Amino acid sequence: MGVRPEWRARHLPAGRRPDLTALAEAAAAPSPAADNGLWAQNYYDDWPSAFTHVLYMRGEDGPAPDLAGAAPLLARPDYVLYAVTKNQPASP
C-alpha cells in the first residue's frame, strides 16, 4: 500500500500513539517534515489544522480528558472520539 506524497509526513507505519501532554503540545507545533522522505515520527504535529477528528484510547471507563481544540463527540468505555473545533481550513 502506498501513501500519497502530500501525506507522507503524516504517515507513521507503526502508528506511535502520543500521550495527552504530547498531543496538547503538538497542537501548536508546525506541520512535520518527513524524517526520511517517507514518514515523520511526530505525524500528529499541527493536528488541529490537519485532522477533523481525534480518537483517544483510554482504559475502560477512564476519564474523557479535556482536549483544547476538540470537543467530545462520542464516548465508549474504552475510547472517546473528539471532533476538532478550531483551526480547520475553510470548506470549498
The domain ranges of the chain are 5-84
Q: Are strands 70-76 and 79-84 parallel, antiparallel or unpaired?
A: antiparallel
Q: What is the reported pLDDT for 45?
A: 82
Q: For the segment 66-91, what is each residue's pLDDT rounded down to a tens digit?
A: 888 899 999 998 899 999 997 655 44
Per-residue H/E/C for 28-92: CCCCCCCCCCCCCCCCCCCHHHHCCEEEEECCCCCCCCCCCCEEEEEEECCEEEEEECCCCCCCC
User: For the chain, which residues score pLDDT lower than 50?
Assistant: 1, 90-92
